[in-house]
Structure 1
Amino acid sequence: MPLQLAVLSTSRIVEEFLHHLPEMPEISVQALCCRPQSGEKARAWAAEYGIPQVYTDEETCYRAGGFDAVYIGTANHLHYEAARRALEAGYHVILEKPFTGTAAEARALYALADQKGVMLLEAITVYYLPQFAFLRRELETIGPVRGAMASFCARSRRYDDFLKGIWNTTFDPACQGGALNDMNVYNLHLLTGLLGAPRQAEYRATRAANGIDTAGLALLDYGDFTAAALAAKDSDGVNGMVLQGPGGHLVVEGGTNALPVVYCVPGAVRGSTARREGPAAARFRMAYEFAAFVRIIAERDTAAEAEARARTLTVMDLLDKLHAEDLPQK
């Protein structure tokens, strides 16, 4: 039976999710909840995607019920309170990245989920893709990692408005946007998922006049090597990742949120430079994570939830450190 879901927000990530609903038979969206000013948009989406109910008040939505879990795709600064309210109402929660504003907030939400006996999962695509499993398997091929670089840069569609002085949450520091939280978080999940947590970390940001980081480089110190993670919302770049060692290198070509092309090139020590191709995704990138979430919730797979929780907390702790070790460009 599909997971009965309520969706909170009419954001762009929610729009993308709804557009691909036909590719996710594991999900049945029963309600769409938004701010009153977004009600017209929500009703149009409900008609287009066959969603039975639209609410412009969370309390009314949660009291009415008819679903088992809430998918939250609000602006970053609203994540914590929105998740807290859904958990308090007794629903499982799937919360978009970046999970919360701080690691302390993340731990508070997990404690509340445990108290309520429900599951709390971060909607982060990377770990659930078959390409990620390939990269993890091939790590042994390249031997001890000696260098790592990841990049995810895309000029925001809202950047021109920002330059014109038109307000939006994406470039408002009070809304916890910026390149680190919105874009580099994917690089951090990918790198820590493969390499673990770094010993030390620092962030070098390119900042606009209002203080928002429109681009930035995170340096992750692993002792034997340093990994670099670049992200930008003010410019495009060549996106992907390279991990290299004495036995070869692993490559991602394309966004680190989707890993569209992955492959391994064994080094000369193995006598070959043949490229070993990884799998291509057969489904929309978000379909993999939601299929996993449906299974975890349906089976009450606490081990899988604990593993996901540990990954989220690793990145939340790292984000805290990067925000604290935010060094100006020289």
Structure 2
Amino acid sequence: MKLLLTGAGFIIQDFLSFADDLKDKGVELTAITGVVVEKEKMQELADAHGIKELYTDYDQALAKTSADTVYIGVPNFLHYSFAKKALAAGKNVICEKPFTVKYAEFKELKELALKKGLVLVEAITNQYLTNYKELKDEVKSLGPVKIVSMNYSQYSHRYDAFKKGKILPVFDPKKGGGALMDLNIYNIHFLVGLFGMPKTVKYMANITRGVDTSGILVLDYGKFKAVSIAAKDTQAPITSTIEGEDGSIIVNGPANVMDSWDLYHITDLVKHVDDKVYPHRMYEEFVDFAQIVDNHDMAKVEEMLNHSDEVMQVVQKAVDDAGLELE
């Protein structure tokens, strides 16, 4: 898999912090593209990681690069346009979460990728983590699930600026900002990956200047209920609990990291699970992405797109229920 990286922001820098360890897994850092003001930073990253191609124009990058796959790490509101251009250029696409701001945009990308036989996957860490896969197998031991509660409350270092009137992308409704898209999206992937589509979706959001700075998402699965809290304006211990008639599972830390989890029978700790393959949360997904691309595994692509489809439906229902106007 030969990667074209988009942008030089936090997520790309975070990826590059461990990307050299992916080289023996078939991942080649081929190119990087961004805007002109990012050129100096991109050059630093390129020099540090042996990236030979550097572009300051995305269209030119797609036309000239020898990369076969585009990793989209730009702000949320650009995911759709960047992915669409990449697919049109015949490139495979790995798109950061959330896939798109609107469900209709995702559906268009999904149809285009499958029609052209191109890989299109969402970079959503928890679905690929060993700790999460093992938790999925263990949930059945809990008996009938009754309650799931999740909390990802993390005070944003950009929130103080927001209160003073400075609107950065993460708090800009016109750029797909807000707690639902930034933090609760991990919880939604966690829940949908375990239980599929809920029967109903309710999103009670705290909205300031058109953006949800925090909110409570309630998913009704019929026989059990799930509550998912995410906040960028408060701080609290980050944890998730799955409660069944025969036991419970407590996830330690955020759903995108899946650091470890504990299985309880009533109040007795049965086992502690921490089977991380690699310290960085993104490593396992990119190992899988390389295999998917190199093997042109379209069955896996369809499986993951169907998962993302359900997630995007939940997101759209939450947006509509809260009356958010994301662009």
Normalised-by-shorter TM-score class: over 0.9
Question: C-alpha root-mean-square deviation of aligned residues, in Å?
Answer: 1.4
In the alignment, residue 312 of structure 1 is paired with which amino acid?
S
Q: 1:108-160 deviations in whole A, cap 9, x for unaligned?
A: 00111123221100000011101111111111110110000011121112112
Pick from 274, 288, 296 the counterpart of residue 279 of structure 1.
274
Matches within 5 A, 1:8-157: 8-25=6-23, 26=25, 27-157=27-157
SS across alignment from 2:101: coil
Q: What is aligned with 1:220?
A: 219
Q: Give the unaligned 5+ runs of structure 1.
A: none
Partner of 1:326: 322
Partner residue in 2 for 1:298? 294
CA distance in 1, matches of 2:63, 2:20: 28
Under a length normalisation based on structure 1, what TM-score does the superposition of the two structures give?
A: 0.94
Matched residue SS, 1:95: strand
- Alpha-carbon separation, structure 1, partners of 2:114 and 2:133: 29
Deviations 1:267-301 (A, max 9, x none): 37xxxx23312233131210100111111111121
SS of residue in 2 equivalent to 1:228: strand
Q: Secondary structure at the match of 2:282?
A: helix
Q: Is the 8 A contact 1:239 1:253 kept in 2?
A: yes
4+ residue stretches of structure 1 with deviation over 3 A? Answer: none
- Is the 1:204–1:327 contact (alpha carbons within 8 Å) kept by the matching residues of 2? no
Q: Select which of 299, 305, 312 maps to 1:309.
A: 305
Match of 1:171 in 2: 171
Count of aligned positions: 321
CA distance in structure 2 between the partners assigned to 1:95 and 1:244 by the alignment: 33
| 1: CA distance, partners of 2:140 / 2:112 | 39
- Distance in 2 between the 1:116 and 1:307 partners? 17
**Structure 2: where are the runs of 5+ without partners?**
none
Q: How does 1:177-196 map to 2 (within 5 A)?
A: 177-196=177-196
Distance 2:142 2:119 in 1: 37
8 Å CA contact retained: 2:259, 2:274: no
Q: 1:327 to 1:54 in 2, by over 3 A?
A: closer
Query: Contact 2:117–2:298 at 8 Å: present in 1 too?
Result: no
